[in-house]
Chain A
Amino acid sequence: MTDRRRVLVVVPAWNEAGAIASVLDEIASALPAADVLVVDDFSSDATAAIARATGVDVISNIFNLGVGGAMRVGFRYGADRGYDALVQIDADGQHDPASVPALLEALDSSPGPAVVIGARFDSSEDYPVPRARRWAMRLLAAYLSRLTGCRLTDATSGLRAYNRDAIALFARTYPADYLSDTVESLIIASEAGARISQLSTVMRPRIAGTPSQSRPRALLYLSRVALMLFLQAIRPRRPALPSPAPTNPRPIIEEKP
């Protein structure tokens, strides 16, 4: 592959000491040319230390910001340093980094924001998800498919690739609210006229840690999503991205050795 794009892999991590090392190891072998940034979201375990020991760049938040807040940090880092593509991978090991090159290949680098989602259940129905939640997610996916004009089966997947203009868009607008970042970011992207597509990838059970979606949280999540879709319907569209995308990034302070 003659891909000359500079790629940044952002791994938002919160208390993933048990999984982060093997995830970073897999990323390094699947994407040897990519830079990796771990955004440690104020973990109380050794996540940041383990990540640093592997030689990747690590940013430690000074308090917990949630996945959305951690991703905002990642997008700003990517925008400031002028990356051509940004890949988001969960730190719990449920995404296989081997599927990222396919995502990057599907990512449209021409001007205008573009997002490619690595979907989960499409090809691996064996991954256990409670039936009610799967149903709700399908309903949500159907709505979002209509909104984005792309057949989406897994709108909440945290495995995604963004092109340069999508990085600039999300450095300003990525949602930081609790439990809603993946869905709301798609709404924001489609309002900004982004090209959104989906690729089927195999998801594996988590390597370690506890899933962040228990039953009451899933219910809370669904109510949040319902409110979000209602608001999307009544809200005026956000102003479009100032064009051209920011060309004078803030000066980067060189790290001290």
Chain B
Amino acid sequence: MTGVHLTVLLSTGAAVAAVVELLRRRHLREKYAVVWLAVCLPMIVFAIAPNLFNRLAHAIGVINPPDLLTVLACLFLLVVCVYMSWELGRLEDRTRRLAEEVALLRRDVGAGH
């Protein structure tokens, strides 16, 4: 294990600890925590057994294994961004409907004149 792998292992471990602590304090919803934990686990495995990752990279035709890591990371972040956009749109829609509903109700109860 080289310094790089140790660094990856330690930082991933720190990330897992941070996510679990946020969960414990109820600051992070479980459905989002699961996504981050799902990324951290393979990272830990690959930091402990780098050869596994190198073999995986070569098996799918990637000459320089770190390239595969970069591509996968970009893809993952892209998916997260798209998902967040979708979730944000849904929340905007719900907030708007709530605002409409409250405005109509305020009119019905005679408030806000």
Known: A234-B20, A253-B109. 7 other contacts (CB 8 A): A62-B101, A63-B97, A177-B29, A228-B30, A231-B23, A235-B24, A235-B26
User: Which residues on the A side are within 8 Å of B97 (C-beta)?
Assistant: 62-63
User: Which chain B residues numbered 51 to 107 have a C-beta less than 8 Å away from chain A?
Assistant: 94, 97-98, 101
A selection of 23 A-B contacts at a CB cut-off of 8 Å is: A62-B97, A62-B98, A62-B101, A63-B94, A63-B97, A177-B29, A177-B30, A177-B31, A178-B31, A224-B30, A227-B30, A227-B34, A228-B30, A231-B23, A231-B24, A231-B30, A234-B20, A234-B24, A235-B24, A235-B26, A236-B24, A253-B109, A256-B108
For window 59-116 of A, CB contacts with B under 8 Å fall at: 62-63
Residues of B within 8 A of A256 (CB): 108
Chain A residue contacts of B108, Cβ below 8 A: 256
Residues in A neighbouring B20, C-beta threshold 8 A: 234
Q: Which residues of A contact B109 (CB under 8 A)?
A: 253
Interface residues of B (CB under 8 A from A): 20, 23-24, 26, 29-31, 34, 94, 97-98, 101, 108-109
Give chain B's interface secondary structure class. Answer: helix
Give the nearest-CB partner of A231 in chain B: B23
Compute how far the CA of A177 lies from the CA of B24 in the bound complex, rounded to whole angstroms: 16
Complex Cα distance, B16 from A63, in Å, reads 34
Contacts of A253 on B, CB cut-off 8 Å? 109
Say how far B20's CB is from chain A's closest CB, in angstroms: 7
Minimum distance in angstroms from B84 CB to a CB of chain A? 18
Kindly name the residue among A224, A231, A253, A256 whose own CB sees the greatest number of chain B CB atoms within 10 A.
A231
How many Å lie between the Cα of A52 and that of B81 in the bound state? 43
- State A143–B29 Cα separation when bound (angstroms): 23
Per-position 1/0 for A170-198, Cβ under 8 A of B: 00000001100000000000000000000
Tell me the bound Cα distance from A207 to B29 in angstroms. Answer: 35
Residue-by-residue, is A154-178 near B (CB-CB < 8 Å gives 1, otherwise 0)?
Answer: 0000000000000000000000011
- Give bound CA distance, A176 to B23, whole Å: 16
Distance in angstroms between the alpha carbons of A178 and B29 in the assembled complex? 11
Residues of A within 8 Å of B94, CB to CB, are 63
CA distance A253 to B111 in the complex (A): 12
A224 surroundings in chain B (CB, below 8 A): 30
CB-CB < 8 A to B34: which residues of A?
Answer: 227
Q: How far is the CB of B105 from chain A (nearest CB, A)?
A: 9
0/1 interface trace, chain A 218-248, chain B, CB 8 Å (1 if under): 0000001001100100111000000000000
Find chain A residues with CB under 8 A from B101 CB.
62
The residue of chain B having its C-beta at the shortest distance from the C-beta of A254 within the complex is B109
User: Whole-angstrom distance from the CB of B98 to the nearest CB of chain A?
Assistant: 7
Residue of chain A at shortest CB distance from B97: A62
| Docked CA distance A224–B7 (Å) | 31
Considering only CB atoms, which chain A residue lies closest to B26 in the complex?
Answer: A235
Distance, CA A13 to CA B20, complexed state (A): 35
Q: Chain B nearest CB: distance from A256 CB in Å?
A: 7
Residues of B within 8 A of A227 (CB): 30, 34
Q: Give chain B residues whose Cβ lies under 8 Å from the Cβ of A235.
A: 24, 26
